[in-house]
Amino acid sequence: MKLLLIRHGQTPGNVLGQLDTEHPGPGLTELGKRQAEAMARSLANEPIGALYASTLIRTQITAAPLGRLHSLEVEVLDGLHEIEAGSLEKLTDEESHKRYMGTVFSWAAGDLDRRMPAGPDGHTFFDRFDAAIRRVVERALDQRHEAAAVVSHGAAIRTWAGRRAEDADHEFAARHVLANTGIVALEGDPDRGWKLLHWDGSPVGGLALADPTAEDPTGQDTAGS
Protein backbone atom coordinates (compact mmCIF):
# COMPACT_ATOMS: atom_id res chain seq x y z
CA MET A 1 0.00 0.00 0.00
CA LYS A 2 0.93 3.63 -0.38
CA LEU A 3 1.47 5.66 2.77
CA LEU A 4 1.49 9.46 2.57
CA LEU A 5 3.11 11.09 5.59
CA ILE A 6 2.22 14.77 5.49
CA ARG A 7 3.55 17.46 7.79
CA HIS A 8 0.87 19.86 9.08
CA GLY A 9 0.54 23.49 7.89
CA GLN A 10 2.44 26.36 9.46
CA THR A 11 1.77 27.31 13.09
CA PRO A 12 2.71 30.49 14.98
CA GLY A 13 5.28 28.35 16.81
CA ASN A 14 6.92 27.38 13.50
CA VAL A 15 7.28 31.05 12.57
CA LEU A 16 9.07 31.73 15.86
CA GLY A 17 11.19 28.59 15.61
CA GLN A 18 9.78 27.17 18.83
CA LEU A 19 10.25 23.54 19.80
CA ASP A 20 6.52 23.29 20.34
CA THR A 21 5.37 19.75 21.07
CA GLU A 22 2.86 19.95 23.95
CA HIS A 23 -0.86 19.13 23.72
CA PRO A 24 -3.13 20.47 22.38
CA GLY A 25 -0.68 22.81 20.65
CA PRO A 26 -1.40 25.81 18.42
CA GLY A 27 -3.64 26.13 15.38
CA LEU A 28 -2.45 27.32 11.96
CA THR A 29 -1.33 30.71 10.69
CA GLU A 30 -3.12 32.22 7.66
CA LEU A 31 -0.33 30.76 5.50
CA GLY A 32 -0.80 27.41 7.22
CA LYS A 33 -4.50 27.40 6.31
CA ARG A 34 -3.65 28.16 2.67
CA GLN A 35 -1.04 25.39 2.72
CA ALA A 36 -3.69 22.95 3.98
CA GLU A 37 -6.10 23.93 1.17
CA ALA A 38 -3.35 23.63 -1.44
CA MET A 39 -2.26 20.27 -0.06
CA ALA A 40 -5.82 18.96 -0.43
CA ARG A 41 -6.02 20.16 -4.05
CA SER A 42 -2.63 18.57 -4.82
CA LEU A 43 -3.82 15.21 -3.52
CA ALA A 44 -7.24 15.29 -5.21
CA ASN A 45 -6.36 12.38 -7.51
CA GLU A 46 -4.66 10.14 -4.94
CA PRO A 47 -6.68 7.00 -4.11
CA ILE A 48 -6.81 7.82 -0.39
CA GLY A 49 -9.09 5.44 1.51
CA ALA A 50 -8.48 6.69 5.05
CA LEU A 51 -7.16 9.90 6.60
CA TYR A 52 -5.51 10.19 9.99
CA ALA A 53 -4.24 13.03 12.17
CA SER A 54 -2.30 13.18 15.41
CA THR A 55 -3.68 14.23 18.78
CA LEU A 56 -2.25 17.76 18.27
CA ILE A 57 -4.88 20.03 16.76
CA ARG A 58 -2.63 21.50 14.03
CA THR A 59 -2.69 18.18 12.18
CA GLN A 60 -6.47 17.87 12.48
CA ILE A 61 -7.02 21.37 11.07
CA THR A 62 -4.56 20.63 8.26
CA ALA A 63 -6.30 17.37 7.37
CA ALA A 64 -9.81 18.88 7.25
CA PRO A 65 -9.76 20.23 3.63
CA LEU A 66 -8.33 16.92 2.37
CA GLY A 67 -11.07 15.06 4.25
CA ARG A 68 -13.77 17.25 2.67
CA LEU A 69 -12.35 16.72 -0.81
CA HIS A 70 -12.28 12.93 -0.46
CA SER A 71 -15.42 12.71 1.72
CA LEU A 72 -13.39 11.11 4.49
CA GLU A 73 -13.53 11.65 8.22
CA VAL A 74 -10.31 12.74 9.87
CA GLU A 75 -9.49 10.00 12.37
CA VAL A 76 -7.38 11.06 15.33
CA LEU A 77 -4.90 8.31 16.11
CA ASP A 78 -2.71 7.96 19.19
CA GLY A 79 1.00 7.67 18.55
CA LEU A 80 1.34 10.12 15.64
CA HIS A 81 2.12 13.23 17.71
CA GLU A 82 5.39 15.15 17.57
CA ILE A 83 8.48 13.92 19.42
CA GLU A 84 8.31 15.52 22.85
CA ALA A 85 10.98 18.18 23.41
CA GLY A 86 11.17 17.64 27.20
CA SER A 87 13.12 20.44 28.86
CA LEU A 88 13.75 22.01 25.43
CA GLU A 89 10.01 22.77 25.05
CA LYS A 90 9.30 26.25 23.61
CA LEU A 91 12.99 27.07 23.22
CA THR A 92 13.97 28.86 20.01
CA ASP A 93 17.77 29.13 20.13
CA GLU A 94 20.02 27.33 17.67
CA GLU A 95 21.74 25.26 20.34
CA SER A 96 18.39 23.81 21.48
CA HIS A 97 17.34 23.11 17.86
CA LYS A 98 20.61 21.24 17.35
CA ARG A 99 20.18 19.27 20.53
CA TYR A 100 16.61 18.29 19.63
CA MET A 101 17.32 17.37 16.02
CA GLY A 102 20.64 15.73 16.94
CA THR A 103 18.84 13.50 19.43
CA VAL A 104 16.10 12.40 17.05
CA PHE A 105 18.51 11.69 14.19
CA SER A 106 20.69 9.65 16.53
CA TRP A 107 17.59 7.48 17.05
CA ALA A 108 17.23 7.15 13.28
CA ALA A 109 20.87 5.98 13.28
CA GLY A 110 20.04 3.29 15.84
CA ASP A 111 21.03 4.91 19.15
CA LEU A 112 17.61 4.33 20.68
CA ASP A 113 18.86 4.55 24.28
CA ARG A 114 19.71 8.23 23.94
CA ARG A 115 17.17 10.39 25.70
CA MET A 116 15.73 13.80 24.93
CA PRO A 117 16.55 15.97 27.98
CA ALA A 118 13.69 15.23 30.43
CA GLY A 119 11.89 13.55 27.52
CA PRO A 120 11.51 10.22 25.73
CA ASP A 121 14.15 7.88 24.38
CA GLY A 122 14.11 6.38 20.89
CA HIS A 123 12.46 3.13 21.98
CA THR A 124 9.44 5.04 23.27
CA PHE A 125 9.12 7.04 20.06
CA PHE A 126 9.47 4.11 17.63
CA ASP A 127 7.18 1.89 19.70
CA ARG A 128 4.32 4.36 19.56
CA PHE A 129 4.80 5.54 15.96
CA ASP A 130 5.27 1.98 14.65
CA ALA A 131 2.11 0.88 16.46
CA ALA A 132 0.11 3.74 14.93
CA ILE A 133 1.36 2.96 11.42
CA ARG A 134 0.59 -0.72 11.89
CA ARG A 135 -3.01 0.18 12.70
CA VAL A 136 -3.21 2.35 9.57
CA VAL A 137 -1.87 -0.50 7.43
CA GLU A 138 -4.03 -3.23 8.97
CA ARG A 139 -7.15 -1.21 8.28
CA ALA A 140 -6.04 -0.38 4.73
CA LEU A 141 -5.41 -4.06 3.98
CA ASP A 142 -8.70 -5.06 5.58
CA GLN A 143 -10.68 -2.51 3.58
CA ARG A 144 -8.58 -2.82 0.42
CA HIS A 145 -7.52 0.82 0.35
CA GLU A 146 -4.75 1.61 -2.11
CA ALA A 147 -3.46 4.49 -0.04
CA ALA A 148 -3.76 6.14 3.37
CA ALA A 149 -2.82 9.68 4.36
CA VAL A 150 -1.39 10.54 7.78
CA VAL A 151 -0.96 14.15 8.89
CA SER A 152 1.81 14.25 11.48
CA HIS A 153 4.90 16.29 12.36
CA GLY A 154 8.30 17.28 11.04
CA ALA A 155 10.65 15.56 13.46
CA ALA A 156 8.43 12.49 13.85
CA ILE A 157 8.12 11.91 10.07
CA ARG A 158 11.79 12.59 9.29
CA THR A 159 13.00 10.34 12.12
CA TRP A 160 10.61 7.48 11.42
CA ALA A 161 11.20 7.51 7.65
CA GLY A 162 14.95 7.86 8.20
CA ARG A 163 14.92 4.54 10.06
CA ARG A 164 12.08 2.62 8.43
CA ALA A 165 12.44 3.45 4.71
CA GLU A 166 14.84 1.04 3.01
CA ASP A 167 16.30 3.68 0.73
CA ALA A 168 16.71 6.40 3.35
CA ASP A 169 18.83 6.54 6.48
CA HIS A 170 19.58 8.97 9.28
CA GLU A 171 21.92 11.04 7.09
CA PHE A 172 19.32 11.25 4.32
CA ALA A 173 16.67 12.31 6.84
CA ALA A 174 18.98 14.93 8.34
CA ARG A 175 19.78 16.35 4.88
CA HIS A 176 16.20 16.38 3.62
CA VAL A 177 14.04 19.03 5.21
CA LEU A 178 10.30 18.75 5.59
CA ALA A 179 8.64 22.15 5.46
CA ASN A 180 5.01 22.56 6.46
CA THR A 181 2.81 20.42 4.16
CA GLY A 182 5.84 18.64 2.79
CA ILE A 183 5.11 14.96 2.05
CA VAL A 184 7.07 11.73 2.42
CA ALA A 185 5.46 8.98 0.31
CA LEU A 186 6.26 5.30 0.94
CA GLU A 187 5.15 2.00 -0.56
CA GLY A 188 5.10 -1.25 1.40
CA ASP A 189 4.02 -2.46 4.81
CA PRO A 190 5.60 -3.01 8.24
CA ASP A 191 6.42 -6.68 7.55
CA ARG A 192 7.93 -6.43 4.07
CA GLY A 193 9.44 -3.00 4.61
CA TRP A 194 8.94 0.47 3.17
CA LYS A 195 10.28 1.81 -0.12
CA LEU A 196 10.61 5.57 -0.46
CA LEU A 197 8.55 6.86 -3.43
CA HIS A 198 9.27 10.53 -2.98
CA TRP A 199 10.25 13.06 -0.35
CA ASP A 200 8.76 16.47 -1.14
CA GLY A 201 10.42 18.76 1.37
CA SER A 202 8.64 21.93 0.21
CA PRO A 203 4.96 22.72 0.73
CA VAL A 204 2.92 20.86 -1.87
CA GLY A 205 1.26 23.35 -4.15
CA GLY A 206 4.32 25.46 -4.88
CA LEU A 207 7.03 27.62 -3.42
CA ALA A 208 4.61 30.56 -3.12
CA LEU A 209 3.41 28.67 -0.03
CA ALA A 210 6.88 28.50 1.52
CA ASP A 211 8.02 30.89 4.25
CA PRO A 212 11.80 31.26 4.04
CA THR A 213 11.80 33.67 7.00
CA ALA A 214 10.42 31.11 9.49
CA GLU A 215 12.99 29.73 11.95
CA ASP A 216 11.24 26.35 12.01
CA PRO A 217 13.81 23.65 12.93
CA THR A 218 12.26 20.72 11.06
CA GLY A 219 12.06 22.82 7.91
CA GLN A 220 15.85 23.19 8.02
CA ASP A 221 18.84 21.13 6.97
CA THR A 222 20.32 19.82 10.19
CA ALA A 223 22.91 17.44 8.78
CA GLY A 224 25.84 17.37 11.15
CA SER A 225 23.77 18.38 14.18
Q: CB of residue 32 vs ligand 3PG: minimum separation in angstroms? A: 10
Nearer CB in complex with ligand 3PG: 162/188: 162
Give contact residues for ligand 3PG (rule: CB under 6 A): 7, 11, 14, 19-21, 82, 85, 153-155, 216-218
Rg, the chain, Cα only? 16
CA atoms within 13 A on the CB side of 194: 24
Active-site pick, 37, 82, 84, 89: 82
Please confirm, yes or no, whether 30 is among the known catalytic residues. Answer: no
Number of alpha carbons in the 13 Å side-chain half-sphere of residue 112: 9
Residue 197 in 3-state DSSP? strand
Smaller CB separation from ligand 3PG, 91 or 165: 91
Q: 19 or 38, CB closer to ligand 3PG?
A: 19
Return the number of other C-beta atoms located less than 10 Å from residue 12's C-beta. 14
- Nearest residue relative to ligand 3PG (C-beta): 154
The reply to whether 46 belongs to the active site is: no
CA distances to 80, 82, 100, 143, 216 from 114, rounded to whole Å, are 20, 17, 11, 38, 23
**Taking the complex as a whole, how short is the minimal distance between the CB of residue 133 and ligand 3PG, in angstroms?**
17
Q: Partners of 188 in the beta sheet?
A: 194
Q: From the CB of 56, what's the least distance to ligand 3PG, in Å?
A: 7
Active site residues: 8, 82
